[in-house]
């Protein structure tokens, strides 16, 4: 029973220095609660199912007529939900990168690097470290999130986001890809 408890709570109980303290803390705080919960589980009876809400997809804002208020409202609500979901996705990718660095950096004072000096692992462009791929995925996703939702304010609407895309496409049509600079206005030179 003690071995299986330690399997359930493996954090640092086999540490050479702090294992005893961890086991003591576990025995004082966690073990009584786990025992109590197991006793109650026998009394409680059958588990009751509960579900998470599912939101069916509705037409997006580009598929709604201008004066169809119901369609626009639903598209807006879906847009707000999608923003939250995609924000959480970015959080997951960031966590993955942090965990990758934490796992790979090793231990001891050599692995301690102040925050402003970057990661303790080599994630510069062109590195072949496995955390570089994770960082690239996170940065690409972050960039796409900013392209879609950035600079729209605290409470954006689906119309604002849609028109932001339209303005970006028009800008790209006139000046080339974003990041390559604006073209100056020279009609006289082209006519000559």
Nearer to other proteins, 71 or 141 (CB): 71
Residue 9 in contact with residue 26, Cβ under 8 Å? yes
Q: How far is the CB of 66 from other proteins (least distance, A)?
A: 12
Write the binding mask 56 to 85 for other proteins: x where contact by CB under 8 A, - elsewhere.
Answer: -----------x-xx--xx-----------
Residue 101 in contact with residue 91, Cβ under 8 Å? no
Q: How many residues bind other proteins (CB under 8 A)?
A: 19
- The total number of residues written for the chain in this structure: 192
Contacting residues for 58 by C-beta, under 8 A, at least 6 apart? 71, 74, 75, 78
- Angle made by CA atoms 112, 113, 114, in degrees to the nearest 5: 120
Q: Which pair of tokens denotes residue 17?
A: 């220095």
Q: How far is the CB of 7 from other proteins (least distance, A)?
A: 23
Residue 60, SS3 per DSSP: coil
Q: How far is the CB of 48 from other proteins (least distance, A)?
A: 6
Query: What is the spatial distance between Cα 60 and Cα 72, in angstroms, rounded to a whole number?
Result: 8
Q: How far is the CB of 159 from other proteins (least distance, A)?
A: 16
46 contributes a contact to other proteins by CB under 8 A: yes
Q: Which stretch binds other proteins (CB under 8 A): 47-55, 85-93, 117-125, 171-179?
A: 47-55
54 contributes a contact to other proteins by CB under 8 A: yes
Q: Which residues bind other proteins (CB under 8 A)?
A: 40-41, 43-54, 67, 69-70, 73-74
């Amino acid at each position: 029973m003690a071995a299986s408890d330690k399997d359930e709570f493996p954090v640092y109980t086999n540490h050479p220095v702090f294992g005893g303290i961890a086991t003591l803390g576990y025995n004082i705080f966690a073990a009584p609660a786990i025992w109590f919960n197991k006793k109650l589980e026998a009394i409680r009876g059958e588990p009751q199912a509960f579900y998470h809400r599912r939101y069916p997809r509705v037409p997006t804002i580009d598929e709604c007529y201008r004066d169809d208020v119901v369609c626009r409202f639903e598209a807006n609500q879906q847009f707000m939900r999608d923003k939250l979901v995609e924000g959480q996705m970015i959080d997951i990718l960031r966590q993955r990168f942090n965990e990758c660095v934490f796992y790979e950096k090793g231990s001891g004072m050599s692995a301690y690097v102040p925050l402003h000096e970057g990661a303790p692992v080599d994630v510069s462009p062109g590195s072949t470290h496995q955390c570089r791929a994770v960082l690239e995925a996170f940065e690409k996703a972050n960039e796409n999130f900013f392209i879609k939702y950035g600079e729209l304010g605290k409470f954006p609407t689906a119309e604002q986001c849609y028109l932001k895309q339209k303005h970006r496409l028009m800008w790209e049509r006139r000046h080339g890809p974003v990041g390559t600079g604006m073209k100056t206005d020279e009609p006289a030179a082209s006519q000559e």
